[in-house]
Structure 1
Amino acid sequence: MSLYCGTACRRKFFWCYRLLSTYVTKTRYLFELKEDDDACKKAQQTGAFYLFHNLAPLLQKSEHQYLAPQYSLLELERLLGKFGQDSQILEDSVLIGCSEQQEAWFALDLGLNSSSSVNASLQKAEMETALQGSFIKLTKALFELNVKDASLLSTAQALLRWHDTHQFCSRSGQPTKKNVSGSKRVCPSNNIIYYPQVAPVVITLVSDGTRCLLVRQSSFPKGMYSALAGFCDIGESLEETVRREIAEEVGLEVDRLHYSASQHWPFPNSTLMIACHATVKPGQTELQVNLRELEAAAWFSRDEVATVLRRNNPSNQQQSGAVPFWLPPKLAIAHQLIKEWVEKPTCSPLPA
Structure 2
Amino acid sequence: MPMNPKMPLAVGLPLSLFAGLSMPVQGRINGALGARLDDGLAAAVVSFSTGLVLMVLICVLAPGARSGMRRVLPAIRARKFPWWYLLAGASGAILVLSQGVTVALIGIALFTVAAVTGQSVSGLLVDRLGLGPAGKKSITPLRVLSALLTVAAVAWAVSPKFSAGTDQAGLLALVLLPLVAGFLQSFQQAFNGTQSAHYGSPFPATMVNFIVGTVLLYIAWLVKVAVAGPGNPLPAEWWYYLGGPIGCLFINFATVLVRSLGVLLTGLGMIAGQVLGSLLLDVLFPAPGTIITTATVLGTLLTLAAVVLATLPWPRNSFAVLRRRKGQR
TM-score by length of structure 2 reads 0.23
- Name the structure where strand makes up a greater proportion of residues: 1
Larger radius of gyration: 1
- Name the structure where helix makes up a greater proportion of residues: 2
Structure of higher RCO (CA pairs closer than 8 Å, 6+ residues apart): 2
